[in-house]
Amino acid sequence: MPSATPPSPSPPPPLPQQSTPGPRATAFTTLYLSALDSTLKSTTYTSFSACFPTVSARAEAALRGMHAGMLERLRGFAVEDFERIMEERRVVERVNGLEDVITEARKRRAAGVDGGWADKRDRPHTLPPKPLMESHTLPLHRAQNGQLNARLQTVQSQNAMLGAEIRAQREEIEELLKKVEGGVGDVEMAGVRLGERVGGLSGEGRTASEVLSGWER
């Protein structure tokens, strides 16, 4: 009786190592070399020999060798510079990283199609622009709103403290004014009493003077 268990799927091909060019890095290098060879081939012997008509007429074989050697050296210099730039800029590593991202995206897409996304309207590429834009902008807006709310609370707290300090100073000023007004009243009262006292002393002085004048008579 044959087994009902379906055969396990074959494992995916291993991802390229960071130091080994992957498919895209290899294609990039191949494209560069193809463009380089095409450019060098455009420098034909005919156009090259036109610059040296005397040498071409007298020593064509030598000039052809010079032309071939020049193209070979130019290609060598270009390839060396290309490889140096590839190494300095870590092109292979970065392109392989892109390869990893694409492979992972394909896996996630396959998992979403096979194991989820029962409703096709829920798939990201089928959503209208507004929800997609909000999915990217809402987190930023929420973070900014949180910062603004924190700053607003800080300003409100500072304003409350300043208001309490101003009220305390106002109450202190009013208390000082009351004390000053009370002091002015006391001074005025003392002035009145002093005037009365001076008037009384003046009367007593006149009386005493009259008495003394009577005795002298």
Rounded to 5 degrees, φ, ψ at 117 are 50, 50
- Whether the per-residue pLDDT at 19 is higher than 60: the answer is yes
DSSP class of residue 119 equals S
Tracing tokens 């006149």 back to the chain, one arrives at 206
Q: What is the pLDDT of residue 212?
A: 62
Residue 159 lies in a domain: no
Q: Is position 36 within any domain?
A: yes
**pLDDT higher for 173 or 182?**
173
Note whether residue 120 is domain-resident: yes
The residues, ordered by sequence, that sit 6+ positions from 60 with a Cβ below 8 Å of its Cβ are 49
Q: What would the two tokens of residue 40 be? A: 């060098």
Rounded mean pLDDT, 50-75: 92
Q: Is residue 100 part of a domain?
A: yes
Total count of domains within the chain: 1
Share of residues in the chain with pLDDT > 90 (%)? 29
| Token digits of residue 73 | 């050296």
Phi/psi of residue 52, nearest 5 degrees: -130, 70
Confidence of residue 83 (pLDDT cuts 50, 70, 90): very high
Is pLDDT above 80 for 173? Answer: yes
Which residues have CB under 8 Å from 62's CB, separation 6+? 55
Q: Tell me what pLDDT residue 40 has.
A: 92
Residue 38 lies in a domain: yes
Q: Give yes or no for a contact between 106 and 112, defined as CB atoms under 8 angstroms apart.
A: no
Residue 120 is part of which domain span? 23-126
Distance from C-alpha of 92 to C-alpha of 111, rounded to nearest angstrom: 28
Per the domain annotation, does 210 fall within a domain? Answer: no
Instruction: Note whether 36 and 79 are within 8 A (CB).
Output: yes
